[in-house]
Amino acid sequence: MSVLPDVPQKNLVEVLAQRQGLLLGLLSILVAIAFGLSLMLGPEGFGLPGGPGMAQLVLLEIRLPRAILGLLVGGALGLTGAALQGYLRNPLAEPGLLGMAGGASLGAVISIHTGLAALVPLALPLGGLAGAIVATLAVVLLAGQRSSPVTLILAGVALSSVAGALTSLVLNLAPNPFASVEMLYWMMGSLSDRSLEHVWIAAPLIIAGCAILLTTARGLDALTLGEVAAVNLGIELGSMRSRIVLGAALAVGAATAVTGAIGFVGLVVPHLLRPLVAHEPGRLLLPSALGGGVLVLAADVGLRLISPAGDLKLGVVTALIGAPFFLWLVLATRRELQA
């Protein structure tokens, strides 16, 4: 924990608590604003179309599911990124690192390839969830019960590579060009054309996964002192690792299953907010969840302003935002090492 300048040590906890409260309050206001803009923005601009019946239909069946999923998916990605960076003590860790997102993408494209997505509308998200579950089990079995963070990273990277290769194979063997285009569009990530059924599928799993990740705050703070010190403070590292893997699998797997791949949110948001919480990983979790929701909702609102027809996908926008930030992070890290 970094000590703030000109603040007595006995008052440091109070100062950090006040900062945390102000930060959470500001992020909550931004979430409310972004959520409201998402509800009021459509292809024709701001406002609700037609009479009361049409306005209610558009609001409840089209815009509300999109706004809810944007908040849930952004929150899941931001929170998971903060938890993984804290546990792995790696500033480049992000939600796709453990292979859940790759597994979800593979399960979804298989459902499109086999024609199940065309026969049963919910086969696409359910296939994604099945892929995420299989990938999680494979990572756990490959890493072993008492694996170190490095082993967990290697297992996740290996499973991500396998899932990516199999996804490319499915794309290559697509029965027709239309199926290939549908797979590619889904993999780009989007909140459009989602219904309340998608919300009911994803919301319970995302909320459960986020709740599990929030229970690791104390352990993540203790882990900054080293594994030996964390154990001496009463932290069960095996239990914490299991909770992080399970929470990440539920949150990221469900999010990817219903929206496709939306990258860089879990990498960018924790880095932007970390200095505001004195670099304490435990205090970073909840702000990262709110910040992720703000980022995804804001990106989706901007997307609808730039491309009302929906030609531009959300995953592309977040990648355009995140890639320059990633390059800046690499350069900043290199300068620190050279200093």
Q: Domain boundaries in the chain? A: 9-331
| Number of Cβ within a 10 Å radius of residue 142 | 16
d(CA 99, CA 80): 13
Question: 48 burial class (0-12, 13-18, 19+ CB within 10 angstroms)?
Answer: middle
pLDDT tens per residue across all 339 residues of the chain: 444 555 455 576 777 788 889 999 999 999 999 999 999 887 666 766 666 667 777 788 888 999 999 999 999 999 999 999 999 888 778 888 888 888 988 998 998 888 888 788 788 888 888 988 898 889 888 887 777 788 888 888 899 999 999 999 988 888 787 888 888 888 888 888 888 989 998 999 999 999 999 999 999 999 988 888 888 888 898 889 889 989 998 999 899 889 988 988 998 899 899 989 888 999 999 999 999 999 999 999 988 888 776 667 888 888 888 878 778 877 877 777 776
d(CA 207, CA 69): 12
With CA atoms as reference, report the closest residue to 15 among 231, 309, 283: 283
Structure tokens belonging to residue 284: 């970073």
Question: 93 burial class (0-12, 13-18, 19+ CB within 10 angstroms)?
Answer: buried
pLDDT at site 338? 73
d(CA 268, CA 289): 12
Amino acid 218 reads: R
pLDDT at site 310? 67
pLDDT at site 233? 87
| Number of Cβ within a 10 Å radius of residue 77 | 35
pLDDT at site 5? 52
d(CA 92, CA 18): 29
Per the CB < 8 A criterion, the answer to whether 318 and 265 are in contact is yes
Structure tokens belonging to residue 254: 């469900």
Structure tokens belonging to residue 78: 């931001």
- Taken in order 72, 132, 242, 276, the sign of the CA dihedral is negative
| Strand (E) or helix (H) holding 108 | helix 100-113
pLDDT at site 2? 47
CATH classification for the domain delimited by 9-331, as one of 3.30.420.130, 3.40.50.300, 1.10.3470.10, 3.40.80.10: 1.10.3470.10
pLDDT at site 3? 45
d(CA 39, CA 68): 10
Q: From the CA atom positions of the chain, what is the Rg in Å?
A: 20
